[in-house]
Amino acid sequence: MKAQPDPKPDPWRFALDALDAGESVVLVMVIDHSGSVPGVTGTFVVVTDDGQAGTIGGGAAEHTMVDRARGHRADAELVDFVHTPGGDGTLCNGLQRFALLTLQPTDRGTIEQIVSTLEHHETGTLELSPPGFAFTPGTARETSFEQRETDWTFTHPIGLLDTLTIVGGGHVALALSRVMSTLPFRITVLDNRTGLQPMDDNPFAHHKEVVDYDDIARHVPEGDRSWVVVMTYGHKHDRRVVENLLGHDVRYLGLMGSATKIKRLFADMEAQGADPEALARVRAPIGMPIRSHTPEEIAVSVAGEMIGIRNGALE
């Protein structure tokens, strides 16, 4: 019986099912790119004779590579696809380099490790090379591609590498969790109230906890992959959280509120001895300027701002 993909299957789970069904399974992954292209390094698609899961950006490149994968029976190979404006009906202009690997039944254990890692919201490192592929759970090495004559190695971290900590578990936190759950972020929601319905009903957060805001820093990871949004239920609590996180090393610290509220709050904090330079690094008010009002609109504006910063489009 052939493995049939659901509308949006997990590619690695799809690969397992296809191998179990005795199908030919080919992994197509973007291992390098330059210019304006639809699928960046690390995107991938798993291809069988009559199905696929995942994406390498769509369009002409994906159509071409999926067709090529269905005829691929040899060892691993590298294929370059050059995008030229108008050449494939788009305005893309750049290059994608693809690796094509036929997955074998002996790869099943490795794929199961990947599936387990992703289902537990953990990280690991995938390594592709002409002999096949390997996976190391628990470590997230940087992306790299090295080529020497006919030999090559591609290394790429997978899993939820970035953490979003939402402080305040109300309706906007629920909406933001919903939006961010479609992106590669591990989502934590923290609040100092018990029995908070929007937090209790939040199915999108990977972790939820009731905490003391005076101890908030202990619950927030540090580093360039740590993102924090503060949206508590009052100015007093906002201030406690921000004061306790000003010296914390995070990629993004944002505070929800009106411009008037933020100006008064920060002026008062500075008058009480807060570091003006540290306060200037707080994104406040958070979100893109789209005149958002509802929790859902605010969530979209905040997500847009974080994506822009993450992708280097915003400072």
Asked, for residue 206, whether it belongs to a domain, the answer is yes
> Residue 110 corresponds to which amino acid?
T
Whole-prediction pTM value? 0.82
Residue 277 belongs to domain with CATH number: 3.40.50.720
* Whole-number pLDDT of residue 5: 42
- Asked whether residue 274 is domain-assigned, the answer is yes
Which pLDDT value is given to residue 86? Answer: 62
For residue 230, which amino acid is it?
A: V
Label residue 35 left, alpha or beta by phi (over 0 means left) and psi (-120 to 50 means alpha): left
Q: Note whether 245 and 196 are same-domain residues.
A: yes
Residues 298 and 232 in one domain: yes
Tell me the residue length of the chain: 315
Q: Report the pLDDT value the prediction gives residue 94, as an integer from 0 to 100.
A: 87
288 shares a domain with 166: yes
Cα–Cα distance for residue pair 74/146, rounded to 1 Å: 21
SS3 180: helix
Residues 118 and 254 placed together within one structural domain of the fold = no
Q: Could you give the CA distance from residue 66 to residue 47 in angstroms, rounded to a whole number?
A: 7
Residue ending a domain, among 132, 159, 186, is: 159
Residues 46 and 150 in one domain: yes
Task: Please report whether residue 57 resides in a domain.
Answer: yes
Residue 292 lies in a domain: yes
In a domain, 296, yes or no: yes
- Looking at the fold, whether 135 and 166 belong to one and the same domain comes out as no
Q: How many CB atoms lie within 10 A of CB 25?
A: 26
Domain-terminating residue out of 144, 159, 174? 159
Does 302 fall in a domain? yes
- Which pLDDT score is estimated for 1? 42
One domain for residues 110 and 216: no
Q: Quick check: is 271 in a domain? A: yes
Is 185 found in the same domain as 125? no
* Residue-level pLDDT at 226: 97
Interatomic CA distance for residues 142 and 144, integer angstroms? 6
Q: Which two tokens stand for residue 122?
A: 């953990």
Report d(CA 99, CA 65) in Å as an integer. 10
Looking at residue 197, its pLDDT comes to 96
Last residue of a domain, one of 136, 159, 182: 159
Calpha distance 216→299 (Å, rounded) = 22
- Sequence-distant (6+) residues with CB within 8 A of 242 are 230, 253, 255, 269, 282
- What range does the domain containing 276 cover? 162-310
Q: Are residues 151 and 255 in the same domain?
A: no
Digits of tens for pLDDT over the chain (315 positions)? 444 444 467 999 999 999 999 999 999 999 999 988 888 999 999 999 999 999 998 888 999 999 999 988 777 889 999 988 765 555 578 899 999 999 999 999 999 999 999 999 899 999 999 998 999 999 899 999 999 888 999 999 999 999 999 999 999 999 999 999 999 899 999 999 999 999 999 999 999 999 999 999 999 999 999 999 999 999 999 999 999 999 999 999 999 999 999 999 999 999 999 999 999 999 999 999 999 999 999 999 999 999 999 988 998
Predicted pLDDT at 65: 94
Q: How many domains does the chain have?
A: 2
Q: What is the DSSP string of 10-73?
A: -HHHHHHHHHHTT--EEEEEEEEEEEE-SS-TT-EEEE-SS-EEEES--HHHHHHHHHHHHT--
Residue 9 pLDDT: 74
Residue 279 and residue 286 in contact, taking contact as beta carbons nearer than 8 Å: no
Question: Which one, of 248, 253, 252, lies nearest residue 266 by Cα?
Answer: 253
Query: Is 6 inside a domain boundary?
Result: no
Q: Are residues 168 and 153 part of one domain?
A: no
> Is residue 56 located within the same domain as residue 182?
no
Per-residue b or e along 230-256, where b marks 16 or more CB atoms closer than 10 Å to that residue's CB: bbbeeeebbbbbbbbbbebebbbbbbb
Same domain? 183 vs 45: no
Contact between 100 and 72 under an 8 Å Cβ cutoff? The reply is yes
Which token pair is 192? 């100092």
